Amino acid sequence: MSLRALWIISHEKGENASVRFSRRFATVEHRYKSLSGSSYVSVPEDRNFLQLLLTELGLSRSNKNFVAARDDCLYRPRSPAVELCLDGKKTLWPVLALSQGPLILACLPLVDIPSESRPPLASLLSVSQGLTLLAGLQAFLFSSGGKLDSEGLVARVAALPSLLLQICPLGTPLDIPLVGTPATPTGPTSAVNQKQPPWKTGLHRGRATVNVAVVETVRSMQFGDQSRQDLWDVYGTVTCKCEVEGVLPNVTVTLSLPHNGSPLQDILVHPCVTSLDLSILTASSLDNADGSAFSGPYKFPFSPPLEPFRLCSYTSQVPVPPILGSYQLKEEENSLRVNVSLKLHESVKNSFEFCEALLPFFNRNQMGNVDVKVSSGQVDVTKEKNRLIWALGQKFPKSREVTLEGKITFSGSSQGPSHPLCTGLTAYIELHLKVPDTTLSGCSVDQHSVQVYSSAKPKIITSRELQSKDYFIWNSTGPAPISSGQMMT
């Protein structure tokens, strides 16, 4: 349940890599020595570790075509735990590595099962502990909105020693760093005899406010082809920010579905949720939903932290995608004839914050003459001349259907971007949309259903929103890259 070492590495696409921070936990190493006996493998020094890890992750010597240590086709489960080959047939395992942008976070969990052969990853609790800690540190290092500026990184790396003193002083991770500005930490008042949970960093004083937001995301893959089934799915997350008095206040949020709504499935909840009803967990996207399934209301009693947090997430099977599209390209001499139609389903609210369709063209020259007509909205060509942006505005017309027709010549002088999938007539449209105050599943939080057990009347704010992600409509006249079956993740 402990870690032997921890590293934070920065690199620029494999170049200029350096270990920005490392920590070895000597007492855990001591235990590992006695646990592993003769099969003990020591932790390499930073310089060696860096080299080995970059090779294993395929980041070193990027200009070389084939490097045996990096590109061997032998299948080893490489993720989330990789194995580093040290000198003389010894291997360092399991090294967990999370890579995001220019940072790699890695740790070496303790193997506390002495066995001749390598124990399965799933039998080592230290692995999930390590993953959790790394993800927490990653969120901490990237906490300025996913972007990483070098100064911010330096400051955060400099803060790591005192941070680790609190969350992992001796190699056993206790918690993950809090992201965002923590409320001024205050000790609990002596009158309180409730125990303070670690996620509660301070106490709120003043009027209670509870903010609950439901955001649903729809993904889709449409082919416009009889032989190929279109795919779509919906998942939702419920985010809360609760400013409520008390060390261990009780709040209950209830999600409800409209009559005949299909049940929320695959529900995952935040650890601050105190109890769960079995009926909430039973619906799974693996089962075919039938009418008899539990369809709410979904009650979540919890004791919130002060910071915003994701109370729960779910998936839902909705009968139709919000926008059904068709995309047809016809190759003519050095040009493409384009035909697009998009139809908004009648059940979806026709009031967008934005809705736009992107038509990228890969592996071709830049666009020359663009002669397209749209029934609604406005078309722009990007500066790089490789993409059309069709802004549909806030509303579809009354017919709920829009079209784009025309011809694009690719007579530009220079080559546009390349894409491994989109060659020939394999091409797609990507839809970006956001619809406020609606969800596809119909899931909602009623203001009155939010219960806060406190003296003063709390202020309750609820909202919902639908957005898209990976919403693709493939050209039906060309081969689509996936045959059938499952889509996305």
Q: Between β-strands 231-243 and 209-222, what pairing exists: parallel, antiparallel or unpaired?
A: antiparallel
Q: Which of residues 406-445 bind other proteins (CB under 8 A)?
A: 418, 420-421, 423
Figure out which of the listed residues 52, 153, 208, 312 binds other proteins, where binding follows CB under 8 A.
Answer: 312
Minimum CB separation of residue 433 from other proteins in Å reads 17
* By CB under 8 A, residue 282 contacts other proteins: yes
Which of 25/352 has CB closer to other proteins? 25
Handedness of CA 299, 304, 306, 311 (dihedral sign): negative
Which of the stretches 269-277, 290-298, 372-380, 456-464 binds other proteins when contact is defined by CB under 8 A? 269-277
CB 390 within 8 Å of CB 379: yes
Which of 145/373 has CB closer to other proteins? 145
* By CB under 8 A, residue 288 contacts other proteins: no
* By CB under 8 A, residue 486 contacts other proteins: yes
CB 207 within 8 Å of CB 455: no
* By CB under 8 A, residue 117 contacts other proteins: yes
Q: Which of residues 50-69 bind other proteins (CB under 8 A)?
A: 58, 62, 65-66, 68
Q: Between β-strands 335-344 and 401-409, what pairing exists: parallel, antiparallel or unpaired?
A: antiparallel
Minimum CB separation of residue 374 from other proteins in Å reads 29
* By CB under 8 A, residue 229 contacts other proteins: no
Which of 7/396 has CB closer to other proteins? 7
| 448/450 Cα distance (integer angstroms) | 5
Which of 236/377 has CB closer to other proteins? 236
Sketch the per residue contact string, 149 through 168, with other proteins: x for CB under 8 A, - otherwise: ------------xx--xx--
- In order, the DSSP letters of 55-113 are HHTT-SSTT-S--HHHH-------SSEEEEE-STT-EEEEEEEEEETTEEEEEEE----
CA 384 from centroid of its chain's CA atoms? 29
CB 327 within 8 Å of CB 429: yes
* By CB under 8 A, residue 358 contacts other proteins: no
Figure out which of the listed residues 53, 56, 108, 173 binds other proteins, where binding follows CB under 8 A.
Answer: 173
Minimum CB separation of residue 125 from other proteins in Å reads 5
Sketch the per residue contact string, 367 through 406, with other proteins: x for CB under 8 A, - otherwise: ----------------------------------------
In sequence order, what are the residues at sequence separation of 6 or more whose Cβ sits closer than 8 angstroms to the Cβ of residue 438? 348, 349, 464, 465, 466
* By CB under 8 A, residue 331 contacts other proteins: no
The burial of 389, by beta-carbon neighbours within 10 Å (0-12 exposed, 13-18 middle, 19 or more buried), is given as middle
CA 475 from centroid of its chain's CA atoms? 27
In sequence order, what are the residues at sequence separation of 6 or more whose Cβ sits closer than 8 angstroms to the Cβ of residue 95? 53, 56, 81, 82, 83, 84, 106, 107, 108
Which of 130/458 has CB closer to other proteins? 130
* By CB under 8 A, residue 10 contacts other proteins: no
Q: Which of residues 178-197 bind other proteins (CB under 8 A)?
A: 185-188, 192-197
Figure out which of the listed residues 69, 154, 159, 170 binds other proteins, where binding follows CB under 8 A.
Answer: 170
Question: Roughly how many angstroms between the first and final C-alpha of the chain, as a whole number?
Answer: 29
Which of 13/383 has CB closer to other proteins? 13
Q: Which residue has the tokens 């990483």?
A: 148
HSE value, Cβ hemisphere, 13 Å, CA-based, for 358: 17
Which of the stretches 39-47, 249-257, 350-358, 429-437 binds other proteins when contact is defined by CB under 8 A? 39-47
Q: Which of residues 85-114 bind other proteins (CB under 8 A)?
A: 96, 98, 112-114
Which of 406/417 has CB closer to other proteins? 417
- List the beta bridge partners of residue 108: 5
